[in-house]
Amino acid sequence: MRIWLLSLSALLLLFAAPAFGEVHLDRLVLPKGFHIAVYSDQVQNAREIALGAKGTVFVGSMDAGKVYALTDTQHDGHADKVRVLASGLEMPVGVAFHHGDLYISAVSRIYVLRDIENHLDDPPKLELVTDKLPSETHHGWRFIAFGPDGKLYVPIGAPCNVCDKGEAYAKITRMNADGSGAQDVAYGIRNTVGFDWRSGSHQLWFTDNGRDMMGDDIPSDELNRLSHVGEHFGFPYCHEGDVLDPDFGKGHSCKDYTPPVLKLGAHVASLGMRFYGGSLFPAGYKGAILVAEHGSWNRSKKSGYRVMTVRLNGDKVASYQPLITGFEENEQAWGRPVDVQPLPDGSVLVSDDLAGAVYRVTYKP
């Protein structure tokens, strides 16, 4: 009877535990001198990362419906506390920290947790910022961030693989922190799940996912730069700057739309991107863009499943090279990078929604 009770207890623990994937750091390949370690392997469906003023790492999720707070109380590069701040939300992918408050995207709604770093053990109730966003879940998960202008930037993805919904979808919008003053910023963007502002210029750069069902090699995902409000980047009429859509391209010219700064590759699923401004990495990384590529789902041979470095010379691309590979081997993926987030010490966090983990990348020659 005693043995049976122990077995039952073990079973209860097994079924109560969250279903995280397996982490295989030994399979990851980084340039010489770079090192990667697990920051936390208890972040189910880890998606966008945001940093608090007191060092808290906030992480959104997709199917898990949760928002996490990770704290490294020992300052040893590992989160020893993982708290769930909110649960039961619809695709709370996006998290953005602003003046002590944590903003959370949940498809048609954006919520806020006030003064969150002072209430990690007893989170306040969610306050509604807006419920005026589209409710479609196809490309309805939203990466969000506050810009240098103090406004919250929110993308509205196309609710389809490819369709023409006018200016209601496929765009980036911005609003005041209280949800008022909504304004369209850019159009022709199928689905951006990562953007950042370049230091000094305050120019917005963003990734965009190319449409599916045009074959293995077209169209490419894009890295784009916004030069003025109202700019149009082509979707659904033109893809990757030079490919007219077979269904919606008739009567249009790609010359009428802004081409990408860089073609990232077809179906790589480019998501989170940030400028690296730290000093821990070698000098050549200063000002470079780090891009998390989630990986293809509908290509005969997988692409993506990596973190890439885009070095710039002015507004031109100087190089496009891997920082982390090895999440996929022999057409089998164990990890899928989602977001990249530099830390104040110059290291970089990388979220992985398949393994349910957040990694920390450091450099020591």
The model's pLDDT over 78-90, given as tens digits with 9 standing for 90+, comes to: 999 999 999 999 9
The total domain count for the chain is 1
**pLDDT of the residue at 156:** 98
Q: Is residue 50 in a domain? A: yes
Average pLDDT, the chain: 94
Please give the model's pTM, rounded to 2 decimal places: 0.94
Q: Is residue 62 in a domain? A: yes
Q: Are strands 183-187 and 231-232 parallel, antiparallel or unpaired?
A: parallel
Q: How far is CA 356 from the centre of its chain?
A: 14
Q: Is the pLDDT of residue 5 over 50?
A: no
The structure tokens 């979707």 sit at 235
**pLDDT of the residue at 364:** 96
Q: Is residue 10 in a domain? A: no
Quick one: which of 63, 62, 144, 130 has its CA closest to 97?
144
Give the separation between CA 318 and CA 314, rounded to whole angstroms. Answer: 9
CATH of the domain at 144: 2.120.10.30
Q: Is residue 39 in a domain? A: yes
The model's pLDDT over 340-352, given as tens digits with 9 standing for 90+, comes to: 999 999 999 999 9
**pLDDT of the residue at 13:** 31
- Which amino acid makes up residue 282? P
The b/e string for 124-153 (b: 16+ C-beta within 10 A; e otherwise) is eebeebbeebbebeebbbbbbbbeeeebbb
Within 10 A of 222 (CB to CB), how many other CB atoms are there?
27
The number of helices, as runs of H, and strands, as runs of E, in the chain is 1, 29
H/E run at residue 359: strand 357-363
The stretch 268-297 carries a mean pLDDT of 97
Quick one: which of 130, 134, 219 has its CA closest to 171?
134
Domain holding 243, by residue range, is 35-363
Q: Is the pLDDT of residue 11 over 60?
A: no
Q: Are 344 and 21 in contact (CB under 8 A)?
A: no
Task: Specify which residues 239 forms β-bridges with.
Answer: 243
Q: Is residue 105 in a domain? A: yes
The model's pLDDT over 352-364, given as tens digits with 9 standing for 90+, comes to: 999 999 999 999 9
**pLDDT of the residue at 20:** 60
Quick one: which of 285, 261, 356 has its CA closest to 30?
285
Q: Is residue 123 in a domain? A: yes
Confidence of residue 21 (pLDDT cuts 50, 70, 90): confident
- Backbone φ and ψ for 221, nearest 5 degrees, come out as -70, 165
Q: Is residue 16 in a domain? A: no
The model's pLDDT over 291-317, given as tens digits with 9 standing for 90+, comes to: 999 999 989 999 999 999 999 999 999
The stretch 102-115 carries a mean pLDDT of 98
Q: Is the pLDDT of residue 8 over 60?
A: no
Q: Is residue 56 in a domain? A: yes
